[in-house]
Structures are given as C-alpha cells and as structure tokens.
Amino acid sequence: MKKKIALIFGITGQDGAYLSKLLLKKKYKVYGVKRRSSIINTQRVDDIYKDINLKSDFVLFYGDLTDSSSILNLIKKTQPNEIYNLAAQSHVQVSFEVPEYSADVNSLGTLRILEAIKNLNLEKKIKFYQAGTSEMFGRTREKFQNEKTPFYPASPYGVSKCFAHWITVNYREAYNIFACNGILFNHESPIRGETFVTKKIIQGLIRIKHGYQKKLFLGNLYSKRDWGHARDYVEAMWKMLQQKKPNDYVIGTGKTFTIKEFVNKSAKKIGLKIKWVGKGINEKALNIENKKVLIECKKRYFRPVEVNYLKGNAQRAKKLLKWSPKISIDSLIDEMIEHELENL
C-alpha cells in the first residue's frame, strides 16, 4: 500500500513536532518546511530527524510563506496528499510590533498555498488544513464560542488569522478544494515557546524555586483561557482531513482558567507557597516563607486591547470527528514541570 504524503509548513513549531510524530506513527511520509536561520532550530524534531543523506520518512526542506515560488516548488516536488499550514507569526503581543509582517505571513501565506494548489491543478488530490485560533473571537460577548460565533479580533494576529480563515472558506467554495479550518483554543505542552505565558510561568517558578531567578513578571492576571494539550489537538487536525467532506471545527476543552489560577496550580505543584497582595497593576505574589516578592505585574505585558475571556464549544468536533480532549490541565502542568526539571 502506497504511503500517504503530508507536507507541513511550520514543522519546527510545537504543533509541527507533535503532528509529525503522529503522522509517522500512522505510516505517512512527512515533508516539513522550515525557514532558513543562522541557528539550528530543529530541536523539537531532532528525535525523528535524520541526516538529509539518509533514507527517511521524515524530510526537511527550506521554504518561506512570504515566497510564492518556494511554496509552489515544494508542493510540485513533494506531491502531497495533505498539507498542514501551521506556520505563522503566532505571538499576539509581537503582532502589534510587526503588524505588516504578521499579515504577510499569516494572511497572504495561506493565500499563497491555496493559489499554488489551484495553479498546479491539484484541487482533487490535496486536502488542506489551515490553523486558525481562538484569538479570532477576540472580544466576543458569547459565553461559549463555536463555529457560528462572529469573529471580533483584538490584535493584528487575530485579524490576520481571520483573513486566512475566510480565504480558506472562499477557495473551498470557489475551487472545490478540500480545505478545513481548525479554530484551536490555547494548547500548550512541554515544548511550548518560552515567550508564551504558560511556559513562562512554569519555567520562571521552577527557576525561582531553585535559585536561578528572583522574580517573574506578568501582565493581566485575570485573562481567562481555555487550555488544552497540543498532543490532543494535532489529532483533531488529522481527523479533519480524514472526513468525506471539508468543514471548519472549533477545538477546545470547554473549561477556562485565569492566568492567576494557572500560576496558583503551578506554584502548588512546584512547592512554592505564595500569597497574593495588592490590586490592579500593583498586585503581586509573596513567598509565604520569607515574604519576598516572587511575581509582579508590569504594564509592558498588557496588550493594547485585552482579550479577557475565551471558552471553546467543540460539540461539532465531538459529533463529527469523534474527538474530545484526553489530557487535563493538571496533567498538562505536571508534564510541563517534569520537562523543565529535566532541563534545569
């Protein structure tokens, strides 16, 4: 039986790494696309990556979503059955600082992939997955967000992802491409990037506990987020492309916790006894044992427009994909802590 071929843009990211390992277990041949960098950035996939001169079902290529020719050439060369677009400038705060670049990669990058599929006449061969985000809902007033909830993005990142979402829908309807949007709520893991808040919290608290760091600085402690595990969520991505008809799916746990609650859970598991004092920007956490300030809020970590509440309703995924999250937030935190302690 001929192996399925998958092409993954954003292979070196958290989701790219977990998805690659899932597909390899399912006997796919996986081609990954990574940007050229002066430093080696394949650490998340080093355990499955072999020398380019050795035969392998996991092969990396250089490419960039800002370069139409590289996208077209890669698709033409690899002839994939499935394309997963996980590449993005995905940091919300950074998108305020580099809005044009964020739009180029996140919005036009998606369009370039879809155009390549169309121009190569591969509409009937390739199934396409576009990585959406709960940040597209932004400042929504809905208690739960599902596939019918109107988008109200509150950052250049969220806005750019809305374009990517709707251009995917448009090409699905206009050219009959099997194209799916996965509207994924926050998903974390031990290999999450260090600038993302969950990783920053756990890494910071462990370093404080062991004397390598004095304080942890955070922004809005009362933002509520729906946190799942990336390992669960990449399974949902794959399931979307195994359906008879393309569709868009919200993927989330349906549970929310504030940043402060995530800190409290993590601190307790790490063995730090903390007490919160003060209000607003002056709220801080003290070490109960020695009264030292361990956590402070800084204005620089607040967004220009805050997103205070996100909670996913994944009933469509549960019904059609037979998908539901398996890993709880407590198990997620345990796994992240274990990983940080090993690396300490």
Catalytically active residues are 133, 135, 157
d(CA 8, CA 334): 29
Residues 6+ apart with CB under 8 A from 175: 118, 123
CA 167-64-20 angle, to 5 degrees, is: 85
Alpha-carbon span 246 to 312, nearest angstrom: 20
What tokens were used for 46? 């080093």
Helix (H) or strand (E) holding 78, with range, is helix 68-78
Other CB atoms within 10 A of residue 215 CB: 13
DSSP string, 199-268: HHHHHHHHHHHTTS-S-EEES-TT-EE--EEHHHHHHHHHHHTTSSS--EEEE--S--EEHHHHHHHHHH
CB burial of 152-177 (b: ≥16 within 10 Å; e: otherwise) equals bbbbbbbbbbbbbbebbbebbeeeeb
CB-facing half-sphere around the CA of 2: CA atoms within 13 A? 5
Report residue 276: phi and psi, to 5°. -90, 135
User: Following DSSP, what letter does each residue of 103-156 receive, concatenated?
Assistant: HIIIIIHHHHHHHHHHHTT-TTT-EEEEEEEGGGTTT---SSB-TTSPP---SH
CA dihedral 133, 134, 140, 144 (to 10 degrees): 140
Tell me how far apart the alpha carbons of residues 43 and 299 are, in angstroms, rounded to a whole number: 32
